[in-house]
Amino acid sequence: MVETRLPPGVSAIHVLPADHHDGPWDTMVVPPGTKERLLGHALLVLRHGRALQSLSGPPHGVIVLAGPPGTGKTTLCQGLAQAAALAVSRRGATTFVEIDPHAFPSEMLGESQRAVRRLFAETLPELAARRPHTVVLLDEVEALAVRRSTASFETNPVDVHRATDAALDGLDALRSACPHVLMLCTTNFLAAVDEAFLSRADLVLQMSLPDDEVLARILGHSLAELAAQWPALAPLAADDSLHAKLAARCSGVDGRRARKLVLAALAARPELAEDPGLLSADDLWEVAGAAAVGDIA
């Protein structure tokens, strides 16, 4: 369920668990133990955030996923929200709030600072009061918590620095008011995120580009999804050695491009676009070669 009237700075609100959110968690191929660690951190905050607040070093409820674009950070956060919501569903539903960090304008002096303050002091606490569990996704957090120590005042006007201060103050205030709220943050540029913000993270997970083995699994999975629609593709979807060869051929591409590769193969010839069931290993081989040299989007 998506709510239509959204508070400022919020790009979407979902109520989880929801059936159509099941996909991302299962389809993400990550190193062993990664999902367990993420889910562990998430559940600790959602279930016991209040009780843990009395510790000398309480959790901040912040998880940061860092890594190059297309490595699945946003998708993994969305999947984690659903997986955590499922795990706590016996105790009630979860509000999943997606923040648009680019909704905080820095052009007007004082404006973004006020907007950030309102987000943490009003919007998020109000949303957190709605349901027993709340997960917030702060995508591309470097837009909101700009590293003050290295950011030049020329490229980052004073207002941006103030907005970072407001984000830190806001995070601390939210933590004491709503210690059970989980904040999932992503960044393409860890070096651009403010150190004080990062030091508040309970977990900073570095995502890397997929190696050939992971690429092969992503390709196999993408073909399996197509084969569900066009059963003639089942042999291609089941051909692990083909997936491995394709992965070696496009070695070094990110996960997003790997997913697009199968689509690019379908779009390569009008006959295939007309009837995807005609897709052949040769078609895939061709686009895998092109992907390696950066010919496809």
175 is an interface residue for ligand ADP by CB under 6 A: no
List interacting residues with Mg ion (CB under 5 A): 74
40 vs 28: CA distance, rounded Å: 17
Q: In the 8-state DSSP scheme, what is residue 157? A: -
Q: Binding to ligand ADP by residue 31, rule CB under 6 A? A: no
Which one among 49, 59, 61, 70 touches ligand ADP, defined by CB under 6 A? 70
Residue list 196-255, contact with ligand ADP (CB under 6 A): 210, 214, 218, 255
Q: Is 21 in the site for ligand ADP (CB under 6 A)?
A: no
Report what 245 binds from ligand ADP, Mg ion, none; CB cut-off 5-8 Å by kind: none
Interatomic CA distance for residues 90 and 71, integer angstroms: 32
Q: Is 101 in the site for ligand ADP (CB under 6 A)?
A: no
Closest distance to ligand ADP from the beta carbon of 207 (Å)? 7
Closer to Mg ion by Cβ: residue 35 or 114: 35
Q: Which residues of 43-57 are buried (b: 16+ CB within 10 A; e: fewer)?
A: bbbbbebeebeeeee
> Least distance (Å) from ligand ADP to the CB of residue 215?
9
232 C-beta neighbours (distance < 10 Å), count = 13
- Cβ distance to ligand ADP smaller for residue 189 or 285: 189
CA distance 285 to 222: 15
- Does 71 participate in binding ligand ADP (rule CB under 6 A)? yes
By CB under 6 A, residue 259 contacts ligand ADP: yes
Torsion of CA 222, 228, 232, 233, to 10 degrees: 10
Structure tokens at 247: 């992965």
Name the H helices within 102-194. 111-118, 124-128, 158-177
3-state secondary structure of 152: coil
The answer to the question of residue 256 lying near ligand ADP (CB under 6 A) is yes
- Strand order across the 94-99 sheet: 10-16, 94-99, 133-138, 181-187, 62-66, 203-206
- Give kind and range of the element (H or E) at residue 206: strand 203-206
Query: Considering the rule CB under 6 A, would residue 187 count as an interface residue with ligand ADP?
Result: no
- Choice between 224 and 278, CB closer to ligand ADP: 224
Q: Which stretch binds ligand ADP (CB under 6 A): 39-47, 69-77, 81-89, 161-169?
A: 69-77
| Cα 235 → chain centroid | 32
Nearer of residues 143 and 219 to Mg ion, judged by Cβ: 143
Q: Which is nearer to ligand ADP, 10 or 66 (CB)?
A: 66
Binding site partner of 256, from Mg ion, ligand ADP, none, Cβ cut-off 5-8 A by kind: ligand ADP
For position 64 contacting ligand ADP by CB under 6 A, the verdict is: no
Instruction: Compute the distance between CA of residue 148 and CA of residue 162 in angstroms, rounded to an integer.
Output: 9
Residue 94 in tokens: 């979860």
Residue 209 vs 272, nearer CB to Mg ion: 209
Binding site for ligand ADP (CB under 6 A): 27-30, 69-75, 186, 210, 214, 218, 255-256, 259
